[in-house]
Amino acid sequence: MKILFYAAKNYDEKSFGNMIDQFPEIEIDYIEHELEPRTAALAKGYDAICAFVSADVGTKTLEILHENGVKTVLMRCAGYNNVDVEKAKELGIIVKRVPGYSPEAVAELAMALALAVNRRLYKAYNKVRENDYTLKGLRGVNFYGKTAGIVGTGKIGAAMCRICRGFGMKVIAYDVYQNPDLKDFVEYVSLDELLAQSDLISLHCPLLDDTYHMINIDSIKKMKDGVILVNTSRGALVDTTQLIEGIRLNKFLGVGLDVYEEETGNVYEDRSDEIMEHSVTSRLLSFPNVMITSHQGFYTLEALENIAQTTLQNMMDAAAGTKTPNDCA
Ligand code: NAI
């Protein structure tokens, strides 16, 4: 079985390379190109392709993959909003993903971002490096005794609930389903109640039609003044332009984003020599209370090992025609 591995980074080759001996039937060719309509035909002769969050696995790409005999799409990530699942079904292409490779990896980054913006760690780090030992601009708040509002209490949101409880916070949550594992310490409320009561809001729901831009100027106005907002889920949950409006209204103590609307094209690229012509992200970065990281929530040793193991097992299952909970189509 041959897999063409798109947008391969050295850490991918390492983690999959360490695991491949356990799957002697599988061969992988790694290429740096991102999967998109222009590069899809490179997969001619392969049984499967492996892609990540920044790939374009839309209608056109799937049609080209199908024309070239590719039968399986292996997403090496949890979210699959970049895959046209209906089209894949229509073409008979199996799509599998890695739903829960390490919920703690992402939840721990969410808390790291919340702490970093609260205590302005990025600013403190640079000040001390420049021999500036003043505390100007560094005052934060205690998390202990405050209210954490978690939107989406699946695997990652549940891990974030447990972390917040560990900080001595009251934990409230909003989800379309209630997670029974959390009933001892999490109180489910409506989204409006969560927005109104939380000192820290962390987003952990998938990007769907009904979650697109769920954080907009109307929802921001319902939040407490001095709230901290963290998004490690998907950029388009937040309307960036309206977030900027909210920041200008002084709503936020801090905003920590591992994902943002303009990230496609940036993710895992070095664009430090480029002049960004129309970047809303640059405007966001101009505020002293905003910290952005580049989709690194998944990037821990344990998560990479789990991603490699599950993706290769997904290939075996797809080849055997075995349906599993990892199937998207
Ligand atoms: P999950 O499927 O276990 O949980 C998602 C939860 O969101 C479910 O409980 C679901 O009921 C809830 N939900 C669905 N629609 C909702 C709505 N309209 N309002 C509120 N809640 C809703 O997913 P998991 O593994 O916890 O991942 C969450 C998201 O994190 C993924 O969709 C993905 O976008 C993102 N992610 C980000 C990573 C990063 O590197 N920053 C890495 C992995 C995932």
Total of domains in the chain = 2
Site to substitute for ligand 1 among 175, 209, 260, 267, most atoms within 8 A of C-beta = 175
206 CB near ligand 1 (under 6 Å): yes
Burial of 216 (0-12, 13-18, 19+ CB in 10 A): middle
pLDDT digits (tens, 9 = 90+) for 276-327: 877 899 999 999 999 999 999 999 999 999 999 999 999 999 999 999 999 9
73, 48 Cβ separation under 8 angstroms: yes
Asked if residue 83 belongs to a domain, the reply is: yes
**Tokens for 138?**
């560094």
pLDDT digits (tens, 9 = 90+) for 192-228: 999 999 999 999 999 999 999 999 999 999 999 999 9
Mark whether 249 and 110 lie in a shared domain. Answer: yes
Q: pLDDT band at 69, cuts 50/70/90?
A: very high
Which pLDDT belongs to residue 264?
A: 85
Which pLDDT belongs to residue 276?
A: 83
258 CB near ligand 1 (under 6 Å): yes
Q: Is the pLDDT of residue 63 over 80?
A: yes
Which pLDDT belongs to residue 83?
A: 97
Asked if residue 326 belongs to a domain, the reply is: no
Mark whether 48 and 174 lie in a shared domain. Answer: no
pLDDT digits (tens, 9 = 90+) for 96-137: 999 988 999 999 999 999 999 999 999 999 999 999 999 999
Mean per-residue pLDDT, 234-250:
97
Residue-by-residue DSSP string for 238-286: B-HHHHHHHHHTT-EEEEEES--TT-TTTTT---TT---TT-HHHHHHT
Mark whether 122 and 161 lie in a shared domain. Answer: yes
Q: How far is 129 from 230, CA to CA, in rounded Å?
A: 27
What's the whole-model pTM score?
A: 0.92
**Tokens for 10?**
């050295």
187 annotated active-site: no
235 CB near ligand 1 (under 6 Å): no
200, 228 Cβ separation under 8 angstroms: yes
Mark whether 123 and 74 lie in a shared domain. Answer: no
- Structural domain including 57 reads 2-101+300-320
213 annotated active-site: no
Mark whether 175 and 50 lie in a shared domain. Answer: no
Asked if residue 328 belongs to a domain, the reply is: no
Helix then strand then coil, % of the chain, to nearest 5: 40, 15, 45
* Distance in Å, CA 29 to ligand 1 centroid: 30
Whichever domain contains 96, its CATH number is: 3.40.50.720
